[in-house]
Amino acid sequence: MTLLDFARGPALQWSLIILVAGIVWRVLGAILLSTRKDLSTPRRKSGLKDGMGTIASRSLPASAFEKRIRFQHITGYAWHLALFVTVLFFGPHILFFESILGFGWPNLPNGVVLFAGAIALAILIALLIRRATNPVQKLISNADDYISVIIVMLPLLTGIIAFAHIGARYETLLAIHLLSIEAMFIWFPFGKLMHTAMTFPSRFQAGTSFGRRGIKA
Amino acid sequence: MRKDQNLGEYLRAQGVSRRGFLKFCSATASLMALPPSAVAQVAEALASARRPSVIWLSFQECTGCTESLTRSHAPTVESLIFDAISLDYHHTLQAAAGEGAENARMAAMEENDGEYLLVVDGSIPTGNPGFSTIAGISNLDMLKETARGAAAVIAVGTCAAFGGIPQAFPNPTGAVSVSDIITDKPIINVSGCPPIPVVITGVLAHFLTFGTIPDLDPLGRPTAFFGQTIHDRCYRRPFYERGEFAHTFDDEGARKGWCLYELGCKGPTSYNACATLKWNEGTSFPIGSGHGCLGCSEPGFWDHGSFYKPISAGLWGPRETLLGAAAAGAALGIGSAMAARARKNKALKEAEADSS
Ligand code: SF4
């Protein structure tokens, strides 16, 4: 079995199994935990509106801090947008998803995707340097933060290298790229990358429980 | 060709002009990535070369490699070069049969000990010596015996070079490649199913000119021919770069000649010269006819999943494994939530007991 066959076959299969099992485990575990009955009398009926409202309000910078967190805000949005374009709209990526999900969608020109990938990588490197040098960030960062950033950075880096055919044979570069993604799949449920699945449900939950207590947030 | 004739005399007798011969020499030189200044040397060495003795052994094969070499539309200089070698033994092409044929092999081996070229096509079964025999001799024994006195071995075709189709899962005959058996001789792998004829003659020409084997890649293939991928030299590459792919064999993109990546083209991982040398006297090659590359010059090409599956797609088992994973995750989630609740209830009870 070649390295590429391993990356496309058993490594992909097992990393996906760990990814799916891990996500279901953590999401379900969190949902089942939060069902304790609240015995207090609600201030008002809360529901969808509060939940969605908090998702929206937390997605914008809080006005009190706006000036101080503008950098994180802009880079955060730019990074996620660039990542989505790179991951979801590169032709070969869509074929990869199609082999897992059973359906595909139209792709963007490679030039656009490459540009987005380079932007995403550059932002991530900048954020990593900032995390490692800014005294406050340094203080609040743990190993999970660094691992999560680096494990997302590697697929971007190896992807660009594979696209440009630099340094080794294409089949080796492609295999390394796939293996780096599979490493991310395995890490995903156990670290901060889980925010992908948790962010919006937890904002929604916070919104409804604040609503119940009559807080607008 | 008479034994005392050299190659130049033979080609002249066949009506090949000096001009035509030099053209072949410069093409060969450039194919072999030699500088233009080497053309004269190639021409001189080739013209004065004595016919080398070649023994060609065919094992588990389909004869496609021999067909590729001998069925060219019109006799080319390449095919004449092939004619010019002293093919002392070739099952398919020789007139002699049975004991007479075996005697010819023995005689050639004795006469040219240490100097003859051994060409092999087909893989070697190791499961049972009886799977493939010639004159009662197993392929394995015949290969070992014939390789002993050879100057070099040329493994022609993917079966001889890497095991090829006979080795495809579940490899019922225990097929292996030449290099799995012979480890003490220079081996040149000319892979492809079949290989491009001019690559075979190019390797022969190199041997005739320099008496050495050409530069080889990590898989033992001449880098002059196998140094780049099909994708590197594909004329559809600009479409790949722009992300313009044919989605089916008869859609708009296919008609416009767009990239065949989505249709399973293995060009990006296949090292061969099809895109530049092409087939049938330079007429076309698979991608030129609208079909993706199968990657036939690569080891295990038969077992890399469907020919129509894109390279970036997963090659994994049934999707149900993911449902199983989701179920396992659900069980784990429910279990850990229940355990956490039990801990919480216990803590609450203890707190109540403490405060009362
Ligand atoms: S058709 Fe195949 S070899 Fe040609 S550019 Fe597309 S993927 Fe590459």
Stretch B104-118: mean pLDDT: 88
Question: Model confidence at B18, in pLDDT bands (50, 70, 90)?
Answer: confident
ipTM of the complex: 0.82
Cβ-Cβ pairs closer than 8 A, A with B, add up to: 128
**Do the beta carbons of residue A71 and residue A134 sit within 8 Å?**
no
Atom of ligand 1 nearest to the CA of B261: 7
How many other CB atoms are there within 10 angstroms of residue B207's CB atom? 22
**Do the beta carbons of residue A175 and residue A6 sit within 8 Å?**
yes
Query: Are A174 and B268 inside 8 Å of each other by CB?
Result: yes
In short, whether B301's Cβ falls inside 6 Å of ligand 1 is no
Share of chain B above pLDDT 90, in %: 45
Query: Closest-CA residue in chain A for B264?
Result: A95
pLDDT at B75: 52
Provide the 3-class DSSP secondary structure of residue B116: strand
Token pair 């099992």: residue: A21
Cα separation, B47 vs B224, whole angstroms: 22
Query: pLDDT (tens digit, 9 = 90+) per residue, A44-53?
Result: 777 788 888 8
Share of chain B above pLDDT 70, in %: 92
Question: Model confidence at B94, in pLDDT bands (50, 70, 90)?
Answer: confident
**Do the beta carbons of residue A31 and residue A202 sit within 8 Å?**
no
Cα separation, A60 vs A54, whole angstroms: 10
Please indicate if any CB of chain A lies within 8 Å of the CB of B345: no
User: Which residues lie across from B155 on neighbouring strands?
Assistant: B120, B189
> B196 vs chain A: nearest CA distance in angstroms?
22
> B336 vs chain A: nearest CA distance in angstroms?
6
Residue B77 has pLDDT above 80, yes or no: no
- For chain B, the distance separating the N- and C-terminal CA atoms, rounded to the nearest angstrom, is 114
Q: Which of A8, A27, A94 is the best substitution to test chain B (most B C-beta atoms within 10 A)?
A: A8
Nearest to A100 among B299, B311, B314 (CB): B314
Alpha carbon of B291 to ligand 1 centroid (Å) = 10
Atom of ligand 1 nearest to the CA of B293: 2
Query: Are A21 and B326 inside 8 Å of each other by CB?
Result: yes
Please indicate if any CB of chain A lies within 8 Å of the CB of B103: no
Residues from chain B that touch A92, judged by Cβ atoms under 8 A, are 261, 310-312
Nearest to B325 among A10, A20, A110 (CB): A20
Return the best residue to mutate from B293, B296, B312 for the ligand 1 pocket (most ligand atoms within 8 A of CB). B293
Please indicate if any CB of chain A lies within 8 Å of the CB of B165: no
> B226 vs chain A: nearest CA distance in angstroms?
12
Please tell me the residue having the least CA distance from ligand 1 atom 8: B231
**Do the beta carbons of residue A16 and residue B325 sit within 8 Å?**
yes
Please indicate if any CB of chain A lies within 8 Å of the CB of B318: no
Residues from chain A that touch B340, judged by Cβ atoms under 8 A, are 29, 33
Stretch A72-81: mean pLDDT: 92
Alpha carbon of B236 to ligand 1 centroid (Å) = 6
pLDDT at B14: 77
List of domains in chain B:
7-225 (3.40.50.700), 228-355 (4.10.480.10)
Please tell me the residue having the least CA distance from ligand 1 atom 7: B261
In short, whether B259's Cβ falls inside 6 Å of ligand 1 is yes
Note the pTM of the prediction, 2 decimals: 0.84
Provide the 3-class DSSP secondary structure of residue B317: coil
pLDDT at B124: 97
B267 closest CA partner among B299, B307, B294, B301: B294
Average pLDDT for chain B: 87
Atom of ligand 1 nearest to the CA of B275: 3
Beta-sheet pairing, B116-121 with B150-156: parallel
Query: pLDDT (tens digit, 9 = 90+) per residue, B252-270?
Result: 999 999 999 999 999 999 9
Distances (CA, A) of B13 to A94, B10, B43, B44: 60, 5, 17, 17
User: Which of B6-10, B49-53, B299-303, B348-352 has maximum average pLDDT?
Assistant: B299-303
Both structure tokens of B188: 């040149």
Q: Count H helices, E strands: chain B?
A: 15, 9
CA of residue A19 relative to chain centroid, distance: 13
DSSP secondary structure string, B168-198? Answer: STT-TT-EE-HHHH--SS-EEEE-SSSPPHH
- Residue B189 has φ and ψ, to the nearest 5°, of -90, 115
Where does residue B321 rank: exposed (0-12), middle (13-18), buried (19+ CB within 10 A)? middle
Cα separation, A153 vs A184, whole angstroms: 10
**Do the beta carbons of residue B205 and residue B211 sit within 8 Å?**
no
DSSP secondary structure string, B122-166? Answer: SBEE-S-GGGSEETTEEHHHHHHHHHTTEEEEEEEHHHHHH-TGG
- Residue B299 has φ and ψ, to the nearest 5°, of -60, 140
Provide the 3-class DSSP secondary structure of residue A141: coil
- Residue B84 has φ and ψ, to the nearest 5°, of -75, -20
**Do the beta carbons of residue B122 and residue B61 sit within 8 Å?**
yes
Rg (CA), chain A: 20
How many other CB atoms are there within 10 angstroms of residue A38's CB atom? 9
Share of chain A above pLDDT 70, in %: 98
**Do the beta carbons of residue B157 and residue B192 sit within 8 Å?**
yes
Atom of ligand 1 nearest to the CA of B270: 3
Query: Closest-CA residue in chain B for A3?
Result: B304
**Do the beta carbons of residue B25 and residue B81 sit within 8 Å?**
no
Distances (CA, A) of B16 to B3, B21, B81, B84: 19, 7, 11, 13
Beta-sheet pairing, B137-138 with B133-134: antiparallel
In short, whether B237's Cβ falls inside 6 Å of ligand 1 is yes
Alpha carbon of B231 to ligand 1 centroid (Å) = 5
Question: Model confidence at B10, in pLDDT bands (50, 70, 90)?
Answer: confident
Stretch B82-97: mean pLDDT: 70
**Do the beta carbons of residue A127 and residue A79 sit within 8 Å?**
yes
Query: Closest-CA residue in chain B for A31?
Result: B337
In short, whether B266's Cβ falls inside 6 Å of ligand 1 is no
DSSP collapsed to 3 states, B223-282: HHHHCCECHHHCCCHHHHHHCCECCCCCCHHHHCCCECHHHCCCHHHCECCHHHHCECCC
> A142 vs chain B: nearest CA distance in angstroms?
25
Residue B2 has pLDDT above 60, yes or no: no
Query: Are A21 and B329 inside 8 Å of each other by CB?
Result: yes
Cα separation, B155 vs A184, whole angstroms: 42
Query: pLDDT (tens digit, 9 = 90+) per residue, B279-325?
Result: 887 889 999 999 999 999 999 999 988 999 999 988 877 778 888 88
In short, whether B263's Cβ falls inside 6 Å of ligand 1 is no
Residue A91 has pLDDT above 80, yes or no: yes
**Do the beta carbons of residue B287 and residue B230 sit within 8 Å?**
yes
Beta-sheet pairing, B124-125 with B175-176: antiparallel
Distances (CA, A) of B56 to A5, A43, B97, B108, B109: 33, 93, 14, 11, 12
Query: Closest-CA residue in chain A for B342?
Result: A33
Question: Model confidence at B231, in pLDDT bands (50, 70, 90)?
Answer: very high
Atom of ligand 1 nearest to the CA of B237: 5
